[in-house]
């Protein structure tokens, strides 16, 4: 078990992870890229019951399977700070027991280096894989 904390750019959203970080990835899919306006988006995966909003609330944007905004065709919910737009979580429809949390919103992203790249078929040509 590990404990991690994080939050959004403007400081209105804070969250805590009290549980194992299962997975550390960088996703190159078009949905993650557009939702974050970054060339690729790093994620850690935790169990849903270990993720808790400590302050503020999140706004939700839904993407159904195959639609714009999904992660390589995987439907789910992306959650953001409603004030500053920082992308905080993704919950995929086919693994609702888990929450993907943006590594870049963690207070200590150094502790979670990526172990693999995902969504490589959508990768921008000038972006090198991270793992």
Nearest distance from C-beta of residue 29 to Zn ion, angstroms: 3
CB of 12 to Zn ion, least distance (A): 5
Residue whose CB is less far from Zn ion, 2 or 55: 55
Handedness of CA 64, 67, 71, 77 (dihedral sign): negative
In 2-108, where do the E strands start and end? 3-7, 14-18, 23-27, 41-47, 51-55, 59-63, 76-80, 87-92, 98-102
Looking only at residues 69 through 98 of this chain, which bind Zn ion when binding is defined by CB under 5 A? Answer: 71, 81, 83-84
Residue 2 vs 131, nearer CB to Zn ion: 131
Q: In the complex, which residues of this chain contact Zn ion (CB under 5 A)?
A: 8, 10, 12, 27, 29, 32, 71, 81, 83-84, 119
């Amino acid at each position: 078990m590990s404990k991690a904390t994080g939050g959004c750019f403007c400081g209105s959203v804070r969250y805590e992870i009290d549980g194992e970080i299962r997975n550390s990835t960088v996703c190159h899919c078009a949905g993650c890229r557009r939702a974050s306006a970054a060339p690729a988006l790093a994620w850690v995966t935790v169990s849903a019951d270990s993720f808790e909003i400590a302050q503020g609330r999140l706004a939700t944007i839904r993407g159904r399977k195959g639609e714009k905004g999904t992660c390589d065709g995987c439907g789910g919910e992306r959650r953001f700070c409603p004030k500053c737009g920082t992308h905080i979580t993704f919950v995929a429809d086919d693994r609702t027991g888990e929450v993907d949390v943006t590594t870049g919103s963690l207070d200590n992203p150094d502790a979670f280096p990526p172990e693999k790249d995902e969504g490589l078929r959508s990768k921008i040509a000038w972006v090198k894989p991270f793992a």
